[in-house]
Amino acid sequence: MTEGIERGCISREVLDYAENGDFPIYTSALTIAEVYKQKGNPIGALTSDQSDRILEYFEHEYIKIIDIDRRVAEEAHRLSRKFGLTPNDAIHLASALKAQCDKLLTWDVNSFISKVQHKEIIVEEPAILPPEQLPLITEV
């Protein structure tokens, strides 16, 4: 299986669990701005229809948007310095910490997972989990 297909299957599985109410997905408001183009195509902006669909997708009740306020920005600043993260990655980490997430899932193994060792959150690649390993839902 190619990397792209495998990632697509894993992503679909994670979204299916969330859609079924097994757990919510928390994401930084920055994520909404980041999905303006097609992956792997630096100048390939989404069509208007694609853009409308992705923006609408973020409105599902199982997706919880974490606003970027001053507290998140200041924590991201500290995390960037501490772990050598890009500002965007630090905002995602600070947002996950604000939401009291126990895990932050990212495909960015080299510049994110390998850098962050945080006592309050596990940073790892997404994976398909059997139902018995799903986390219990605790809303914030």
Model confidence band, residue 12 (pLDDT cutoffs 50, 70, 90): confident
Query: Does an H or E element contain 40, and which?
Result: none
The whole-number pLDDT of residue 122 equals 85
pTM as predicted:
0.80
DSSP conformation class of 112:
I
pLDDT greater at residue 33 or residue 135: 33
Q: Is 119 exposed, middle or buried (0-12, 13-18, 19+ CB in 10 A)?
A: exposed
Q: What is the pLDDT of residue 134?
A: 57
Residue 112 banded pLDDT, cuts 50, 70, 90: confident
- Show the domains of the chain with their CATH numbers: 3-132 (3.40.50.1010)
Averaged confidence pLDDT in the chain = 84
What's the angle, vertex CA 49, arms to CA 48 and CA 55, rounded to 5?
Answer: 90
Mean pLDDT (whole number) for 108-124: 78
How far is residue 30's CA from residue 69's CA, in Å, rounded to a whole number?
A: 11
Q: Could you read off the pLDDT of 51-88 as tens digits, one per residue? A: 999 999 999 999 999 999 999 999 999 999 999 999 99
